[in-house]
Structure 1
Amino acid sequence: MASAASTGSTPVYAPAACNWNLESAFFPGQFAWGASTAAYQIEGGWDADGKGPNVWDTFTHQGGDRVFKNQTGDVACGSYTLWEEDLKCIKQLGLTHYRFSLSWSRLLPDGTTGFINQKGVDYYNKVIDSLLANDVTPVVTLYHFDLPQHLEDQGGWKSDSTVEAFDAYAQFCFQTFGDRVKLWITINEPYVVAVLGYEEGTMAPGVTEPGTGAYLAAHKMIKAHAAAWHSYDRLFRKQQGGLVSIALNSDWAEPFEPNSLADQEAAKRHIAFCLDWFATPIFVDGDYPAIMKSKISAMCKKQGLTSSRLPEFTQEEKKTIKGTADFFSLNYYTTRKIKHQDNAHSQPSVSADMEAEQVTDPSWPVATGSSWLAVVPWGLRQLLKYIKDTYNHPVIYITENGFSQSDPAPLDDTQRWEYFRLTLQEILKAIYIDGVHLKGYFVWSLLDNFEWSCGYSSRFGLFHVDYENSALPRVPYRSAIEYAKVIANNRLI
């Protein structure tokens, strides 16, 4: 299964040579219209049918107000037993693609292939087969934040043993499901796992090691991703014909003062420490961005350290990491204005190393369910242009983009649909004006779900879930109805 990402061919639809109208333009043929979910956030059944514990089970069960009202994903949307209800939602939207993640510990309870939980295999076979029976393409994420607890007990993402376990897990999934799954994502948002999970400790596994934990975890995740990509390439690609990538999240960054050189450089650092941290090794040269290496090294010298806190890849590892993505998977939500911040005397951390303060423009609307989510659709177009220019014009899928409402959330979610409508306009501009090779768009999320530390207070779903009702009914928001119209017509109407 060839793609422009691997062949270097130019998409026939970009840039448009003829005049076109934003309001009447169609999206490209075979455009992937999707919605995304993650296992821990929707499945529930946390200990059902032989599933092993993962770090989010542990993190939420420990309490301590780390999650809104000490809520957990023990039940969530009940998708483990209510899959058919989710499928009805998918069919109602008319999705061409559905992105979901596999629960690593539901398939392999201790994270290793020493014991395989057949009931977990049966569940995901049912999901995949029923999607295909309804002409929906499955897009499968191997790891979406829910590391098996057994592996975390052995060092988690700071350990080489987890790299090896992930590769074995990936091979198991390719072998088990790869005859039907042709679009794979290895790891979702390694930046979030590294910084929030292993430095700030605000997400599972709750490790607080400022200045070192995030860099080490990211280092191992990049190696794990590359190992899994090579395993697919070597053992499965010829027979299965699929594509493998990694989902990277990033805000767009604008200089706070456009004419300030210091703010311009700080905005570049913000992108380097977020997106390029992972994209440069994987898509360019197998190594970290030069701006990131030099900045961390300089900060370490100021702190009296004899070596950098950023780990180094060997020459052999760089060769192994370079080129290990068949398309660019992007998760985008918001934009920030960035100003330079002198952190020379701050305690070591990723944020301090970056020396870039994030500012939200007060003129930007903010999502009611997430104080961090400023509505800046034009930032996505800027980010897509940056990826095209920086990473050799790859095929891109936007694998997450969404807007949250606070609870209780109105079904007539006018503000959210406006966010989506404006975002889709910017996507059309990116395709037809900027020549970005964008092949798909996935809303986060299909359902209201367990939104990590926000629990159930932040609702991102196209479908409302009534958690007070034991049947957990799904009801479409207005945005779901409008999105279905766009999908049916392949254009904004």
Structure 2
Amino acid sequence: MSFGNKMYVSALVFCIVISVARCSGNLGFPPGFKLGVATASYQVEGAWNVSDKGESIWDRLLHTQPSLSADGSNGDVACDSYHLWRRDIEMAVELGVDMYRFSISWPRLLPSGFANYVSEDGKRYYNNLIDGLLEKGIEPVVTLYHWDLPQYLQDLGGWANPLIVDWFADYARVAYTLFGDRIKTWLTLNEPLIICDGGYNKLWAPYLDDLKVAAFLCNKNVMMAHAKAYRMYDEEFRPLYQGKVSFPNIFFWFEPETPADAEAAVLTRQMWHDRYAHPVFSQAGGWPPELEKVLLANGKREGYPYPRLPPFTQEEINYVKGTYDFYALNHYTTRLVRRVKPGEAGSWIFYGSEEINVAIVNDPSWTTAVTDWFAINPTGLRKQLHWINSTYGISDILITENGLPTFEKDLLDVNRITYIRSYLEQILLAINDGINVMGYTAWSLMDNFEWLAGYTVKYGLYDVDFTSPNRTRTPRESARYFSNLTKTRTLTDDNIYYLRNVTKNTKALKTLAIMEC
């Protein structure tokens, strides 16, 4: 298919989506709904050894094994946001966003990993970013941990060492103390599933191979670390600053491939999502009972004398339960689930599917992006929001990540516009259903270092020229679309007008002017 034809198909899909939206009810954002963008420290900051910054697990991994990233690259410079933070704020202003989610680099603020020494330069950098955003009327939303653990703490066992609960709490206390007067929304640990199942399955730093034991030790420790950081804020800092705390949970929506696979889909949701949600959000607390039973039986069959998923004591259950002020959701895609067939080898991806004997597959009717794991199914998000609300009785949900990966540098990224618009439509439909979704955060503000994909995969509303010493940022059409969205606060006719303006300047989309949607 030629480029022109691809763009025609994308434009046609977009027009169909908008036409349906015109008849689908109220698609204006409600009062108070926030639109934002997000980044993470290792992916954008660079300056990996500037001043007294400590070494992170990603620094160590990609300096010692550079071939692990798809293009042999690393985050040593990345977007150079450590030096170009003013431009980052300028882009947020251009987009007109209400909030900018970024993460603090633990080893930049605490070079040793411990609270015995706070970096003045690290503190200055984050103060500059926070104050600069607030001066422009943009709310800073801060993630304490987005995967760049100090390497020294990893040498001491990292997330498999239960002492990390205290180490993380000490770090959180420093951050709350330094920045809590201005930060009203805190996120503790980004995607615990990736921290544990990715980090101990040779897919993310620290790139270890121990899904049987260490990954499950990590499961419990991240839950306890989150709870301790939450309890500390609740008791000591909330009376002073009245902020809110949660953690972003990645949750692909899973549907059964056939009605007979309903139980498999439930168990898959428990493996992916409820390991981290059930201890915090459920009325009972603790691990999901069905999953805990399955994992215990697996361990016994394999000869382990103790549960591989460490049990919570009743005191720990009560300590972790209820440690949230809202639900933070990172959502990207939907998958189908079925039981593994006799003789079938393996399954899609790595997050424990072999433990629960399921295969995770695509619906052939869904379009995929970049790789086969990224299926585009916007209605899955609406179903997921309902499921979260009904399962846990959550009153407030914030979408903390959602976005489309591409391989192309194209500035005319109609597919990304289509993706954002269609997922936002499902959010607004869920709001009309009575689900209180507080806001939407696009991933990402700009192209950045996408972990082991290096710079080959692009999520940015802004293109970044990684060959330029200035890391030049250029708005894509999706940035212009998002800017229009933040002005109009609706998905209906004014955005159709925007798209028509695109067609006037883009030969590849000239057909849209004829179609008139």
Q: TM-score, normalised by structure 1?
A: 0.92
1:57 counterpart residue number: 59
Q: CA RMSD in A?
A: 1.8
1:269 counterpart residue number: 267
Higher mean C-alpha displacement, 446-455 vs 301-310: 301-310
Q: For each residue in 1:447-490, what CA deviation from the matched residue of structure 2 results, as whole angstroms up to 9, or x when unmatched?
A: 10000010000000010001111111111111111111111111
Alpha-carbon offset, residue 66 of structure 1: 1.4
Q: For each residue in 1:73-117, what CA deviation from the matched residue of structure 2 results, as whole angstroms up to 9, or x when unmatched?
A: 000000000011111110010000000000010000011111110
Cα pair 2:66 2:73 within 8 Å, conserved: no
1:224 counterpart residue number: 225
Task: Among all aligned residue pairs of Structure 1 and Structure 2, give the percentage whose two residues are the same amino acid.
Answer: 39
- Secondary structure of 1:68's aligned partner: coil
- Secondary structure of 2:142's aligned partner: strand
The alignment covers a number of residue pairs equal to 467
2:460 counterpart residue number: 461
Cα pair 2:184 2:244 within 8 Å, conserved: yes
AA of the residue aligned to 1:61: H
Change (3 A) 1:287 1:243: same
1:418 counterpart residue number: 418
Change (3 A) 1:487 1:76: same
Alpha-carbon offset, residue 363 of structure 1: 2.0
Q: C-alpha separation between the residues in 2 aligned to 1:381 and 1:290?
A: 26
Change (3 A) 1:345 1:164: farther
2:358 counterpart residue number: 356
Alpha-carbon offset, residue 23 of structure 1: 6.4
- Secondary structure of 1:70's aligned partner: coil
2:409 counterpart residue number: 409
- Secondary structure of 1:427's aligned partner: helix
Cα pair 2:66 2:74 within 8 Å, conserved: no
Cα pair 1:246 1:328 within 8 Å, conserved: yes
Q: For each residue in 1:20-58, what CA deviation from the matched residue of structure 2 results, as whole angstroms up to 9, or x when unmatched?
A: 954653111111110010000000000101110000001
Change (3 A) 1:446 1:354: same
1:332 counterpart residue number: 331
Q: C-alpha separation between the residues in 2 aligned to 1:160 and 1:47?
A: 28
- Secondary structure of 1:372's aligned partner: strand
- Secondary structure of 2:100's aligned partner: strand
AA of the residue aligned to 1:156: G
Change (3 A) 1:230 1:66: same
- Secondary structure of 1:339's aligned partner: strand
Q: C-alpha separation between the residues in 2 aligned to 1:421 and 1:174?
A: 35
Mapping 1:166-181, distance limit 5 Å: 166-181=168-183
1:40 counterpart residue number: 42
Alpha-carbon offset, residue 232 of structure 1: 0.4
2:373 counterpart residue number: 372
1:103 counterpart residue number: 105
Q: C-alpha separation between the residues in 2 aligned to 1:44 and 1:215?
A: 31
Q: C-alpha separation between the residues in 1 aligned to 2:486 and 2:450?
A: 26
Cα pair 2:52 2:119 within 8 Å, conserved: yes
Q: C-alpha separation between the residues in 1 aligned to 2:299 and 2:164?
A: 28
Alpha-carbon offset, residue 68 of structure 1: 1.1
- Secondary structure of 1:50's aligned partner: coil
Q: For each residue in 1:361-398, what CA deviation from the matched residue of structure 2 results, as whole angstroms up to 9, or x when unmatched?
A: 22211113x44211111111111111000111330000
Mapping 1:409-488, distance limit 5 Å: 409-433=409-433, 435-488=434-487
1:76 counterpart residue number: 78
Q: For each residue in 1:168-208, what CA deviation from the matched residue of structure 2 results, as whole angstroms up to 9, or x when unmatched?
A: 0001100100000000000000001100102x121100111
- Secondary structure of 2:176's aligned partner: helix
- Secondary structure of 1:441's aligned partner: strand
Alpha-carbon offset, residue 245 of structure 1: 0.3
AA of the residue aligned to 1:305: Y
Higher mean C-alpha displacement, 129-138 vs 305-314: 305-314
Change (3 A) 1:349 1:250: closer
Q: For each residue in 1:316-375, what CA deviation from the matched residue of structure 2 results, as whole angstroms up to 9, or x when unmatched?
A: 11110010010000000001010112699999983321222110122211113x442111
AA of the residue aligned to 1:273: M
Higher mean C-alpha displacement, 475-484 vs 295-304: 295-304
Q: C-alpha separation between the residues in 1 aligned to 2:299 and 2:116?
A: 42
Which ranges in structure 2 are unaligned for 5 or more consecutive residues?
Answer: 1-21, 496-517
2:130 counterpart residue number: 128
Cα pair 1:140 1:183 within 8 Å, conserved: yes
2:13 counterpart residue number: none
2:214 counterpart residue number: 213
1:278 counterpart residue number: 276
Change (3 A) 1:244 1:302: same
- Secondary structure of 2:36's aligned partner: strand
Q: C-alpha separation between the residues in 2 aligned to 1:66 and 1:190?
A: 22
Alpha-carbon offset, residue 314 of structure 1: 1.0
Change (3 A) 1:102 1:304: same
